[in-house]
Amino acid sequence: MAPNKEPDKGKELLKIEDLHVYFETAKAYIKAVDGVSLSVREGEAFGLVGESGSGKSVTIKSVIGLIHPPGKIVSGSIQYKGQELTKISSRQYYEIRGNDIAMIMQDPMTALNPVMKIRDQIKETLEEDIHMSEKDITERAVHLMKLVGIPAPERRLNEYPHQFSGGMRQRVMIAIALSRNPNLMLADEPTTALDVTIQDQILKLLVSLQQKLGMGLVLVTHDLGVIAQTTDRVAVMYAGRIMEMTDTVTLFKKPHHPYTIGLMNSIPSKKLAGEKLDPIPGLPPNMAHVPPGCRFNPRCVYATDECRQGEIGLREVAPGHVSACIKDVR
């Protein structure tokens, strides 16, 4: 990969280098993540965007030790504050999860325990490493509920997940994720399961918390609108690889990779502006049989023979802006 001269926004929090995560099943060998490198700085909101199956979830699950057989981190490095995570034990991971790195999932209902009051779920997370008095737990839980904008927290703490609306449940999930003051928050499509109006509120909440608490954030989404609204920098993934990575303003002003340009042309906000929606023709590849050369080449209108040979690596097209396209099609 070409040297990436990122703006010096603070110390490096997370550094992923040449990560390969494969799934080996009886039927197929799937290279779900195939040579991903990225870094996230302290206090930075980093977006990971791409179509379904591009490897976004597998990438962030690798960071938090949630790749289980038949999945395997085959090679590469993941460092959190300089500590290599791919070599640590599950016990060490247990300590890092929650304390340093927290994750919010797409569907809060499956992540919450339906038969446990919210207070007890927060208590469980808080007490994973230190014993706290009941009074301190209630105080901390009320503080967290207020932080995420849940009204009447004292009363609501004694309710069960089904008594909360979808948006409120996601706020509870964020409160639980924040309970042990993580430095890095991983959010995997945190608003996809919610109504559009609620999605916006939750995203605004996430960004305001990230800024207020100075956390690093990795936000996974297939929605470029969400990226524009929330992130400082962004990586565009396609078929297990990063196609383009730069700061968010540059990505929207001067996208370089034809895949990014294709995604931009297919976002619904263009339709609102009266333009025709222009989806990318074709489908992402079957990950068991990725095409040779640039993985996007079968769908790319600019593809030539050169694009069908060898793996196309990232190159620097402007300071801090890398793209895995050998052409300059803008």
Q: How far is the CB of 287 from ligand ATP (least distance, A)?
A: 4
Nearest residue (CB) to ligand ATP, 54 versus 248 = 54
User: Binding segment for ligand ATP among 37-45, 54-62, 252-260, 301-309 (CB under 6 A)?
Assistant: 54-62
User: Binding segment for ligand ATP among 56-64, 78-86, 127-135, 174-182 (CB under 6 A)?
Assistant: 56-64
Should residue 19 be labelled a site residue for ligand ATP when binding is judged by CB under 6 A? no
Should residue 50 be labelled a site residue for ligand ATP when binding is judged by CB under 6 A? yes
What gap in Å lies between CA 91 and CA 206, rounded to an integer? 29
What gap in Å lies between CA 218 and CA 121, rounded to an integer? 24
What gap in Å lies between CA 97 and CA 65, rounded to an integer? 9
Selected binder of ligand ATP within 37, 57, 230, 323 (CB under 6 A): 57
What is the footprint of ligand ATP within residues 287-316 (CB under 6 A)? 287
**Strand residues in the chain grouped as ranges (E):** 12-24, 29-41, 45-49, 71-80, 83-84, 101-104, 184-188, 216-221, 233-238, 241-247, 315-318, 321-323
What gap in Å lies between CA 129 and CA 24, rounded to an integer? 36
Should residue 23 be labelled a site residue for ligand ATP when binding is judged by CB under 6 A? yes
Selected binder of ligand ATP within 13, 14, 16, 32 (CB under 6 A): 32
Q: How far is the CB of 37 from ligand ATP (least distance, A)?
A: 16
Q: How far is the CB of 285 from ligand ATP (least distance, A)?
A: 9
Q: Tokens 């009941």 map to which residue?
A: 134
Should residue 53 be labelled a site residue for ligand ATP when binding is judged by CB under 6 A? yes
144 token code pair:
């967290």
Element (H, E) at 213: helix 196-213
Residue least distant from Mg ion (Cβ)? 57
**From the list Mg ion, ligand ATP, none, partner contacted by residue 222 (C-beta under 5 to 8 A by kind):** ligand ATP
Contact string 36-65 vs Mg ion (x = CB under 5 A): ---------------------x--------
Nearest residue (CB) to Mg ion, 57 versus 246 = 57
DSSP state, 285? P
What gap in Å lies between CA 136 and CA 125, rounded to an integer? 14
What gap in Å lies between CA 29 and CA 26, rounded to an integer? 8
Should residue 52 be labelled a site residue for ligand ATP when binding is judged by CB under 6 A? yes
Q: What are the residues facing 79 on neighbouring strands?
A: 15, 84
What residues make contact with ligand ATP under the rule CB under 6 A?
23, 25, 30, 32, 50, 52-58, 70-71, 222, 287
